[in-house]
Amino acid sequence: MTTPILQTSPSGLTATWLPFGAHLISVRLPDGTDILAKHDLPETYQGAGPYLGSIIGRVANRIGGAAFTIDGQSYAIAHNDNGHALHSGPDGFDRQVWDVTQEGEELVFRHTSPAGDQGYPGNLDVTLRTRLSDNELQITFIAITDAPTPVNLSQHGYWNPTGLFDRRLDTLRLSSPADRYTEVGEDLIPTGMSPAVDGTPYDFRSPRRIGPDFIDVNLLVPGDGLREMAKLTDGMRSVTILSDYPGLQIYSGESLDAVAGMNARAALAMEPQYPPDAINQPVDGEDTILRPGEVYRHTIIYRFDGPGFEAAALNDATP
């Protein structure tokens, strides 16, 4: 379960995965720069840590009071964050061994979460379909259930386009079209308000440095369907995230100093998802409940740029 699985593209872009937690453990650009924060050894992912590159489920982010109600039925789920559930509890999808198959150009991960897992209702069948192209990594989440249950799947990668994780990311530039954010209290549980980003540290509508401030916020990106959520760049290399999710959680990585050889704030977590605690506090009508007969389907695309891609494009164009 700690044997890495490599995907490669004609441009020289590579992505490396583990069956354990469906962890994405490396994204290496054609110039050799690995821009994804990672542990030194594959087996280290089995220990506790800051969710480096893991798939989060059933529910990413926080559920207030580790409890919710669906159709008049109350459920108490496992808590692991001061009485709240964070990333589904202590034994979420990031702790499970996924089945992996190669289907054409796609690497496909599958996992079944049984009814009662962490206290959640219903059997949930989850599929991740991953595809690597010349300059993009695409992940599609698909899930079905036999009983109503909250679902909010995400990928928890920490990114730094410099590939240097022994220093802080404060000088990197971030842009995002998000015009609102999910306001939270001291416990990081939403207050029920979604104010405008104007005049706040969360206004990245024009590219700017991340700066030294602590950030752990869910940005709400206007529009529907697949669209740009954010772009992180060092001026030479960049990762742009596109998704059809309504929000993007960004976290400035203060906990990364727990990883060997890595600084606090060495990389930025960028997680497309529904807002935190949406099962209890729906935002714009989104409550994250998946019902029998429905299909949960969302896509994340990571688009990369930097040295080496231009050469690959020229080689492809050569008769």
Catalytically active residues, by annotation: 156, 271
Bridge partners of 14? 8, 28
Question: Residue 10: left (phi > 0), alpha (psi -120 to 50), or beta?
Answer: alpha
CA distances from 282 to 76, 193, 294 (A): 18, 11, 19
At 146, list the tokens.
Answer: 């036999």
248 exposure class (CB count in 10 Å sphere: 0-12, 13-18, 19+): buried
Q: How many CA atoms lie within 13 A of 176 on its CB side?
A: 33
Angstrom distances, CA of residue 155 to CA of 30, 270, 302, 306: 23, 8, 11, 22
Q: 274 near 288, Cβ under 8 Å? A: yes
Pairwise CA distance, residues 42 & 79, whole Å: 27
210, amino acid identity: I
